[in-house]
Amino acid sequence: MRSPYSYDTNPDDPRLIIWGRTSANLIVVYSAEGYSSHGGQCRNPHNLAEHLGGSSCGSAVAASVSMCAFPIGTETDGSVTHPADHNGVVGLKPSLGTTVCRGVIPESRSLDVVGAFGKTVEDAAAAVTPIAGDDEKNYWVWCNGGLRLRHVLSGSETPYESLVSKMDSPKGARFGMPWKQVWESASEKEYPYNMLMKMLDQIRQAGAEVYEHTDFPSAEEIISPGLWG
């Protein structure tokens, strides 16, 4: 399978329609300000003075202002979800191995994933279907069972969006909630904490299991204060 975003993609391929390339930080970290010497300064469309989330911010902005329906971006740790949060859209980071990463310059092969943005969860999920596939060259995918979604993502028999389009879609899923250095910051303010608890209740009602305090070993040493807060 040829990666639709790979450096060796043929721009003359009639199946490929490129609407545009979005701006991203040259140093792809979500603390950066969205500047690229190629694309210039990207801005938050809701407030030009507000941080726009860094990393794959151009794709998040494109979705936010309806420039395109299905922009994609890459994420190691927060590079899709963080700009999505700042720009008021949905950011979807699929499980490792769901999408092909050929052509993506790696930062961490055990974390790097190509994800998608959308105005709704279903839109973002729909964007994952055409870029999903087996990445036989990704060593970490094979070692960590990342190809187990292959049977439901092959061809058109089960589009990815069908996995998230129903209220009971999370049934049987398991979610771990690490508190130390991660979610504990939400408990410091009443509003975000109440919203978090409401979200966890909805996940449980949908049939999923939620395990709280699944903390990382030595969380205080490996996660900087405020990094995920």
Question: pLDDT tens across 40-59, in order?
Answer: 888 899 998 888 887 888 89
Q: Which residue has the tokens 């973002």?
A: 124
Mean pLDDT of 208-223: 81
Q: What span, in angstroms and rounded, lies between the C-alpha atoms of 17 and 183?
A: 40
Q: What is the per-residue pLDDT for 61?
A: 92
CA torsion angle 108 122 182 225 (round to 10): 70
The predicted-structure confidence for 9-37, as pLDDT tens digits, reads as follows 444 555 556 667 777 776 666 566 777 77
pLDDT at 39: 74
pLDDT at 148 over 90: no
Give the pLDDT confidence score for residue 186 in this predicted structure.
76
The domain in which residue 175 lies consists of: 170-229
Single out the residue in 137, 165, 193 at which a domain terminates. Answer: 165
Q: Read off the pLDDT of each residue in 164-185 and give the average, rounded to a whole number.
A: 81
Pairing type for strands 72-75 and 40-41 reads unpaired
Q: How confident is the model at residue 117 (pLDDT cuts 50, 70, 90)?
A: very high
Tell me, yes or no, whether 40 and 123 share the same domain. yes
Closest to 53 in 3D by CA, of 31, 70, 71, 36: 31
- 3 state SS of 176: strand
Q: Are residues 138 and 25 in the same domain?
A: yes
In angstroms, the CA 105 to CA 146 distance is 19
Nearest Cα to Cα of residue 77 among 111, 114, 104: 111
Residues 159 and 175 occupy one common structural domain: no
From residue 30, how far is each of 41, 74, 86, 209 by CA, in Å? 15, 12, 11, 30
Do residues 105 and 210 both lie within one domain?
A: no
CATH number of residue 112's parent domain:
3.90.1300.10
Q: What's the mean pLDDT in 179-183?
A: 80
Say if residues 180 and 216 touch (Cβ distance below 8 Å): yes
Residue 125 sits at φ, ψ, to 5 deg, of -70, -35
| Average pLDDT of the residues of the chain | 76
Are 131 and 194 found together in one domain? no
Higher-scoring residue by pLDDT: 187, 94 = 94
